[in-house]
Amino acid sequence: MIKPKTLTDNNPPQAMLWGECLAKTYMTTDGEKLAGRSVFNHCQIVGFVARELLNRMPNDLRSKLFPAGSELVAAAHDIGKVSPTFQEKILRGTNGYVKNSRHELSLIDNPRGESAWGGHAGVSQATAIASDAGRYIPQILGQHHGYSPELQGKLAYAEQFGGQAWQAQRIALVAELKETLECDWPLVINKEQARAIAGLTSVADWIGSGPFFENPDEDWRPNILAAIDNAGFIAPFLRANLTFEDIFSFQAKDAQTQLTAVANQPGVYILEAPMALGKTEAALYAAYQTMAAGHATGIYFALPTQLTSDKIHQRVNQFLEKILAADHPNQKALLLHGNAWLKEMGEEGQPGGSWFNQGKRGILAPFAVGTIDQALMAVMNVKHGFVRAFGLAGKVVILDEVHSYDSYTGTILDELVKTLRALHCTVIILSATLTQERRFALLGQTPTQAAYPLISAMVDTSLTEIAVEPLPDTRVSLHMLSDHTLAIEEVLLRAEQGQQVLWIENTVAEAQEVYRAIGARASDLEIACGLLHSRFLKIDRERNEQKWVTLFGKEGAVERSKQGRILVGTQVLEQSLDIDADFLVSRFCPTDMLLQRMGRLWRHMNTVRPETARCEAWLLAPELEQAISQPEHAFGNTAYVYNPYVLCRSLEVWLKYTEISLPSMIRPLIEATYAPRVEQKKMAKWQDELEHGHRRGRGSKGRKALRTLGLQALSSGMQTLSDDKAATRYSEQDSTLCLLLRGVRHETAKAVLTLLSGETLTLPKNHKSLSKHAWRNIAASIMQNTVTIAAHHAPQTVAVKQLTWLENYAYVNNKYDLDENKKAKLPIAIVQECGQLRSINGGSPAEKYSLEYDALIGYQTLANKLKPEDE
C-alpha cells in the first residue's frame, strides 16, 4: 500500500493549500520546465471556456441539453489534481525540483501508483461523490480523459488520495469555483444531458489547455474568445434566402420540395425514393433551411463506406461554397474516416485551422462528411464517445443508405437515431430500398403508408407520412443464367459496340477471376477494361476509383463515346455512386442490393448511348430448387457473403419476372422478399438459421445474436471503458493492414524503402530530426502503400524488434509492450518483379498460400479454394 509521508505515526499528514497546487508545467523558450498554471487557475479557464461555448449555442439547444450550472462541471474536472500523488508527479517534472519540509509531509514517494485508480480523474470522481454533486456528475468528472476510472471501492477520504486533509482542500476549491462562476451544480435529469455535458467538459478542457493559456504569467481572460474562435467554433454565416435552384442550378423535383417543406425543425425524417432522384440535394437543401431558421448549428453527412464518403464530400463542399459567406472559415467540410487524413496531406484551410483535425475532434467541426461509424460511436462504449455526442448535438445529421446495415450495426443505428432526437438534432434518413420493418424501428411508430416515394416525418410523438409524386418508370429487361461464360461473350459484344458495361461480383476473388477472363480479350478488341474492389494498395485503389468512377459518371460523357468499356467490381460499386452503365451483369444477391445495382443502369436519361444499347440486366443465378436444397453449393461463395434464406427468398421473387418497371416496383419487390411468413421443410431450416445462426463456417451468428452483440456495444449509464474495442461493424473474420514494398535497404542512420512505383522513401532513425510536416508525409506515404486483407490471407509477421526502423512511422505494436520477441501488428512483404510476395527475411511469406500483387488485379491468394470474406 502507498502511504503518505508523515513526521510521526501520531501526526496526521498535512495537505498543500488548494491555491498552491499546480495543474501544469510550463516550458520556457530556453527549454526550462517551470511551474505552470495552478489547478484553480486552469479550472477557472475551462469553466469560462465552457460558458462561452454554451453562449454560442441556440437558446433551445442550450436549454434542453445544458441545465444551469453546466459550466461548473467543466470547471471542476481537475479538482482531483489537488492530491498528493499528482502534486508529487508534477513537481518532479519541474527544473530544480527539491522537496521542502512542508511538501515532504504530504506528498507520496511513488506517484505512479495513481494509475491504480485512474489518476487525478478518479480522485475528481470520488470527491464529487462525497460532496453530493448530483446524479451523473461524478461520472462526468471521472471520465473527462475519455473513459471511466476504476476506483476499486476507494472513497474521497482514502489515504491514497491524501485523507481528510486533502479532501478538505478539494471541497474548498469547489466552493471557490462556485463563487467565481456564480453557479451551483446543475440538475442533470437524463443520460443524454450527461453525455452532452461530458462532451462539453472535454472540449472546454482541450481548448483551455491550448497555446492561448500556456504562460501562467499572462492574463487568461482576454484570450477566451480568441481561443474558441481559433478552434473553429464559429456560427455559420449563411447567405440568406437562397432557392434550391440558386444552390444546385436545377429546379427541385417534388420529393425535394416536399422534404424541404416538412424537415424544418428537430425531428426524424425519412425520404424513401429511387436512385438518381436527387436525395442528396433534397437533404442538403433541407439542412440549409433548418440552419437558416436557427434550428441547427451544422451538418454531419454519414455514409456507409469510405468511397461514398469521398464522393459526397466533394458535393458537400460545392454546396458550402454556395450557402456560406465567401470569407467564412468553415468553407470546407471535414472528411472523417480511417484514411481521411491521407487525402488532406498538403491541403490548407481546413475548418478551424488544424484544431478539428486532431484526434477525436473531427466530428466537432461545424460541417463534416464521413462514414456512419463516426456517428455510431456517439452511443457506443468507446473512449470519448460522449465527445462525439456533443459534436452531433443540435446538427442536421444525414444518414444515407441505411438499408445496407446488418442486425448488429442496425441495432446500434436504431439507438443512434433515438439519441440524436434527444440531442435536439434534425435527422434526415435517405434510402431507396427500406423495408417496413426497418422504417418502424427507425421511427418508433408503425407506418401506415405504402406509397413510393414516401416522406415520413416524426416530430415529437407525431408521425406524418407524405406521398411524393413518382418518377416516370424505366423498363429493365431481365435475363437469368447460370453460365457466366455466356455473359462474358455478351459483355465483350456489347462493349465492342461502344457500350459502357458494368459487371458486379459478390467477392473480390470472383471479380479478379472475371477480370482475368475478360481483360486479355478486351485488349485485342480495343475495349478498355478495369477492376475495382477493396484489396488494392490505397494508392492504387484511389487512382483506379478516380479514373473509372469519372468515366462512368457525368464527367465522362465525352470520353464514353470514344470506345466501349467493361468495369468489373464488387459491392463498392452499388451504393451512392453517380455512375451510369448501358448494360449490367450481376452475380445474384439479395433484392435490396440488386435494386441498388440496377440504380447504376441507365441512370441518366440524357446520356447519349449507342443505338444497340438496351436497358437490360443479366443475373447470374442458380435454379430455385437447387438453391433451396443446397444453397451453399448452388450460390457458391455468395452464400458465405449473404444469408442463404434471404438469397432463396430473393431468387423466388426475381424468377417471376422477365422485365421490371423501376421505380414503381421497388417497394413491391422489397416487401415480397422480406415480408414475414411461415416456412416449411428446407426453407424453415434456413429461416431458423437466419434468426438463430448455425454452427458451421462463416456467418454462423444469427440476427438474434447480432442484435445482442449490438446492444452490448452500446454505452450504458455513462460507463465508458478504456480498453473496450467495440466495433461499429461486425465481422467473424479479422482483417489487417499489410505493407507491400519493392525493397528495404538499411544504412547507418536511416532505412531506405523502395515503393512499388519505383520511388524511394527515406526513414531517418531519429524521426525527431524531421519537421512535423515531413514526418507526417512519410507516415502517409507508408500508409498509402498498405492494403486491407483478411488476417488469414496475410504474410507472416516478424518480431517487433526487427521493425525498429519503422515503429516511429507506422503502428507496429503497442509501445508500452516491452516484449521485443512479440510479433508485430503490421505484416510486411516484398513484391518481386513477377508479382509474387516474399517475406522481408526472404523466403515464402505464408505457409498455406501463394501470395501475389498486381496493380491492375490487386492482392491475390493463389492456393486452395477459400471461403471468401465479405467484401
Residues 471 and 466: their CA atoms lie apart, in Å, by 15
Domain-ending residue, one of 642, 662, 682 = 662
What amino acid occupies position 350? Answer: Q
Alpha-carbon torsion, ordered 606, 610, 611, 613, to 10 deg: -90
Pairing of strands 367-371, 334-336: parallel
Beta strands at 426-431 and 396-400: parallel, antiparallel or unpaired: parallel
pLDDT at position 866: 45
What are the residue ranges in the chain where pLDDT is below 70?
Answer: 1-13, 97-116, 330-331, 337-360, 404, 576, 695-699, 716-726, 729-733, 814-821, 863-871
Query: Tell me, what's the pLDDT at 157?
Result: 86
Return d(Cα 278, Cα 283) in angstroms, integer: 9
Residue 396 has what pLDDT?
Answer: 96
Do 350 and 446 fall within a single domain?
yes
Does residue 271 share a domain with residue 313?
yes
Q: Are residues 268 and 221 in the same domain?
A: no
Q: Is residue 608 part of a domain?
A: yes
User: Could you identify the residue written with the cell 440486366?
Assistant: 617
Question: Do 355 and 436 belong together in one domain?
Answer: yes
Last residue of a domain, one of 467, 496, 514: 467
Which residue in the block uniquely carries the three cell numbers 436545377?
A: 250
Say if 4 falls within a structural domain. no
Same domain, 460 and 374: yes
pLDDT confidence of residue 353: 39
Which string of DSSP letters, residue by residue, matches 740-772? EESEEEEETTEEEEEPTTS-EEEEES-GGGS-H
Residue 577 and residue 607 in one domain: yes
Whether 704 is in a domain gets the answer no
Residue 97 lies in a domain: yes
- Looking at residue 819, its pLDDT comes to 57
Which of 662, 677, 706 is the C-terminal boundary of a domain?
A: 662
Q: What is the pLDDT of residue 643?
A: 92
Residue 132 maps to which CATH number? Answer: 1.10.3210.30
Residue 606 is given by DSSP the state: T
CATH of residue 488's domain is 3.40.50.300
Same domain, 140 and 35: yes
Domain residues for 418? 253-467
C-alpha 50/C-alpha 549 separation (Å) is 45
Burial (CB count <10 Å: 0-12, 13-18, 19+), residue 36: buried
Are residues 498 and 423 part of one domain? no
Q: In whole angstroms, what is the distance from residue 585 CA to residue 583 CA?
A: 7
Q: Are residues 304 and 437 in the same domain?
A: yes
Q: Which residues pair with 837 in a beta bridge?
A: 831
Task: Please state the domain count of the chain.
Answer: 4
Residue 92 forms part of a structural domain:
yes
Assess contact for 296 and 367: CB atoms under 8 A.
Answer: no
In a domain, 701, yes or no: no
The whole-chain average pLDDT of the chain stands at: 86
Full strand arrangement of the beta sheet holding 583-587? 528-532, 565-569, 500-504, 583-587, 616-620, 474-481, 659-662
CA nearest neighbour of 430 among 312, 527, 294, 548: 312
Decide if 5 is inside a domain. no
Contacts 24+ apart (CB under 8 A), 93-97: 93/25, 93/33, 94/25, 94/33, 94/34, 94/35, 95/32, 95/33, 95/34
User: Do both 832 and 747 map to the same domain?
Assistant: yes
Question: Do 555 and 644 fall within a single domain?
Answer: yes
Tell me: do 227 and 266 sit in the same domain.
Answer: no
Residue-wise pLDDT tens digits, 631-644: 999 999 999 899 99
- pLDDT, residue 339, reads 62
Q: Could you give the residue ranges of the DSSP H alpha helices within 183-294?
A: 191-208, 224-231, 244-248, 254-262, 279-292
